[in-house]
């Protein structure tokens, strides 16, 4: 019999907490974890460092295809340098949203994402994991929260790291990114018909993780 490689996809908007939930679910199941957003953030950072405009579709796609990236020791590496913190900067997040809207870039990264699916299984988070990258996933989750709650979470994260932050500006950025991600022509952000909706506005991280695990156990 073939080796089973089940997939759980967790899609959702920016700052919804999907990355935290996905990583914890993967840890509890002993599965591998794919942070697809990190690949787009790495691409945006790489383009910035190589002086390639984020709107240059062919230029950014070329960089994405040869992205010298690695995920090891719990860190993200670009060309041999630890960029775990650098890719989480707000401007790189906005850049990631812009390059992710380019069909050429998404095509360049598609097979790279699928290569993460190895035994015993995978938990993948992003915006099109269940719709495009792993359309036959055993469990698809669309994880979200209100824009107000997501902005407050992001604000607290930045303050905790000692960075300056403006709550109103963060909420505006999140709303603009939601609109851009939902309106893009290729792989728009949306809840798939076969995806389970998980609104975390009033949930703790543990409650969200437990719900995903319960759904997967019932598959």
pLDDT score at 75: 85
Residue 118 pLDDT exceeds 50? yes
pLDDT score at 1: 31
Q: Where are the domains of the chain?
A: 7-212
Mean pLDDT, range 76-93, rounded to an integer: 91
Tell me the HSE value of 198 on the side-chain side, using a 13 A CA sphere: 30
Mean pLDDT, range 90-95, rounded to an integer: 89
CATH code, 7-212: 3.40.50.300
Q: For 170-211, how does the pLDDT look when each residue is reduced to its tens digit (9 = 90+)?
A: 999 899 888 888 887 777 888 999 999 999 999 999 999 999
Which residues fall in the annotated binding site?
Answer: 12-20
Which residues fall in the annotated binding site for ATP?
Answer: 12-20
Q: Please give the order of strands across the beta sheet that includes 75-78.
A: 69-72, 75-78, 81-82
Q: Tell me the CA distances in angstroms from 51 to 65, 71, 134, one per residue in order.
A: 17, 24, 32
Residue 4 pLDDT exceeds 80? no
Question: Which residues lie closer than 8 Å to 66 by C-beta, 6 or more apart?
Answer: none
Mean pLDDT, range 150-170, rounded to an integer: 90
Segment of 158-162, 191-195, 212-216 carrying the highest mean pLDDT:
212-216
pLDDT score at 3: 46
Residue 74 pLDDT exceeds 80? no
């Amino acid at each position: 019999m073939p080796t089973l490689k089940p997939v759980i996809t967790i899609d959702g908007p920016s700052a919804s907490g999907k990355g935290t939930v996905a990583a914890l679910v993967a840890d509890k199941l002993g599965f591998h974890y794919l942070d697809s957003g990190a690949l787009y953030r790495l691409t945006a950072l790489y383009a910035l460092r190589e002086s390639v405009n984020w709107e240059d579709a062919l230029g950014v796609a070329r960089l994405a295809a040869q992205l010298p990236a690695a995920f090891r020791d719990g860190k993200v590496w670009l060309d041999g340098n630890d960029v775990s913190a650098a890719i989480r900067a707000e401007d790189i997040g906005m850049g990631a949203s812009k390059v992710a809207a380019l069909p050429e870039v998404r095509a360049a990264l598609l097979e790279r994402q699928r290569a993460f699916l190895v035994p015993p299984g995978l938990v993948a988070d992003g915006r099109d994991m269940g719709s495009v990258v792993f359309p036959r996933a055993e469990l698809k989750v669309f994880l979200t929260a209100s824009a107000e709650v997501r902005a407050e979470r992001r604000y607290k994260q930045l303050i905790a790291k000692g960075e300056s932050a403006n709550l109103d500006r963060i909420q505006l950025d999140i709303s603009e990114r939601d609109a851009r991600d939902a309106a893009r022509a290729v792989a728009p952000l949306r809840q798939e018909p076969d995806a389970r909706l998980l609104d975390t506005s009033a949930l703790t991280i543990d409650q969200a993780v437990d719900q995903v695990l319960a759904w997967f156990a019932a598959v």
